[in-house]
A and B are shown apart, each in its own frame.
Chain A
């Protein structure tokens, strides 16, 4: 299946992916209304320093340790996608303690959120990929991933 992969040599640290992600998951139709003047809580974020930058979002691991570790039974994997049930999550941060990628973070309400490949929202492909101006994030099949 297709997953999100990062080409860090192309990343400009423009942070557009963060804005596109926050917008895609806002449930609001207009980007300005959704984001202007508000703190954003994207499910992808840019890390790095002056030399290198790259986008971090859920890797949808083959054997996800967050699923095994969630004390609320809120994280599960189905159809290749690691998902979180925000109704069940209590914000204990155990998933933050175990994710080796730093891919989970709390939303505005303190409840955890993560990349679910834009399958639950109105976008049919990940908004971060669609909006990346330099193909530093791609959505594709790669060897070893079925």
Chain B
């Protein structure tokens, strides 16, 4: 009988459990959870801040999920070492757990630069876990002056979540624009304006260099007083356990299309991994929830004896602030075709006859039709792209394709 161990208890772990159980209902599954919580929807922590959801609703799976899946969860413990020869995982309390197949789904951790004086800042937070969000919610008052370092997805969702609860919110970032990892200058400017209209202030091309109690001394020389500091500079994949077992890592744990690491019988999935981006055909960290699930599921299927490839993953993001939504997918480099009008911009990146990426702000209906063109590598010549760029619609496909889509079993 197989003994499966999953290190981590997030979305990728759930995918892995469901993948294993699709092939093997017998083997034992042990999940090692650093956090003292059943799996929850991590990206919802900003919605929790603004009371648009609550702890119960944030459960990613029903309360009997582990039991029904035949899993044992070890809470509050960290896996510290893998012995790939004896096939054992060691926990921080020195417990050794034998495995036949192992999945590393350790996620990522906030990256905190070595700011001078940071140790003397009282109310400082990161924004990655439900415990971070609970602590932040307890501390915030209507008078709080909030300084958020980092204008990326995490920093800005935190800003939105705190909007109605704080006195003022300032976000700084060394980059020249907001959401610099997913939006270009023009699209970022639209989003920044919208955020500013909702009373979020920005200091771009600037960041804190040191702290004197509750004052940040900025690179520009500006001094900013705050009551609450949120550190959202970035995240780093948790790769140490594979690195220390001499497994191959880049910026993340390297996995192939079966989600196997370089170590025998060791798989990896989710934000800790680096895998092939089908839109750019390069290795990338694609730390987003849909991919975490799909990677975990693929790993699980294969751990359970299956033989499934996952080779159509691409970076993609759907993110909205105060009612303005942006969506991006694939690789947005080079020349683009643009459609715009009052309130929206759509940019499409076409390379060698294929759609390889898009960036949409303000008009996102049925964007999955665009995403599918990238994932499925549909030649642009087979569709009416002039129609499609204006409106995402299956009318742009041929009758035969549409017949399959809406008349066949999908």
Q: Which residues of A contact B (CB under 8 A)?
A: 3, 5-8, 47-49, 52, 54-56, 59-62, 65, 68-69, 71-73, 87-88, 90-102, 105, 142-145
Residues of B within 8 Å of A88, CB to CB, are 53, 57
State the Cβ distance, A63 to closest chain B Cβ, in Å. 9
Q: Smallest CB-CB separation from B46: which chain A residue?
A: A90
Residues of B within 8 Å of A6, CB to CB, are 406-407
29 A-B pairs whose Cβ atoms sit less than 8 Å apart in the complex: A48-B393, A49-B387, A49-B395, A56-B406, A59-B406, A60-B410, A62-B409, A69-B289, A71-B41, A72-B41, A73-B41, A73-B60, A88-B57, A90-B44, A90-B53, A91-B320, A93-B364, A96-B318, A97-B327, A100-B371, A100-B372, A100-B405, A102-B366, A102-B368, A102-B394, A105-B365, A142-B408, A144-B408, A144-B409
Complex Cα gap A37–B367 (Å): 29
State the Cβ distance, A1 to closest chain B Cβ, in Å. 10
Complex Cα gap A51–B41 (Å): 44
Residues of A within 8 Å of B57, CB to CB, are 72, 87-88
Q: Smallest CB-CB separation from A6: which chain B residue?
A: B406
Residues of B within 8 Å of A94, CB to CB, are 289-290, 318
Residues of A within 8 Å of B290, CB to CB, are 65, 68-69, 71, 94, 98
Residues of B within 8 Å of A59, CB to CB, are 405-406, 410
Which of A49, A60, A71, A101 is B368 in contact with, Cβ under 8 Å? A101
With a 10 A CB-CB cut-off, give which of B316, B317, B376, B407 has the most chain A CB atoms: B407
Residues of B within 8 Å of A62, CB to CB, are 409-410
Question: Which residues B27-83 have CB closer than 8 A to chain A?
Answer: 41, 43-44, 47, 52-53, 57-61
**A71 adjacent to B365 (CB under 8 Å):** no
Task: Report, as a range, how many residues of chain B touch the other chain.
Answer: 35 or more
A90-B47, A97-B318, A100-B371 in contact; A72/B408 too (CB < 8 A)? no
**B320 adjacent to A5 (CB under 8 Å):** no
State the Cβ distance, A95 to closest chain B Cβ, in Å. 8
Q: Mark B100-127, 1 if CB is under 8 A from A, else 0.
A: 0000000000000000000000000000
**B43 adjacent to A71 (CB under 8 Å):** yes
Q: Mark B324-338, 1 if CB is under 8 A from A, else 0.
A: 010101000000000
Q: Smallest CB-CB separation from B50: which chain A residue?
A: A90
Complex Cα gap A61–B408 (Å): 10
Q: Smallest CB-CB separation from A51: which chain B residue?
A: B395
Q: Mark B280-314, 1 if CB is under 8 A from A, else 0.
A: 00000000011001100100000000000000000
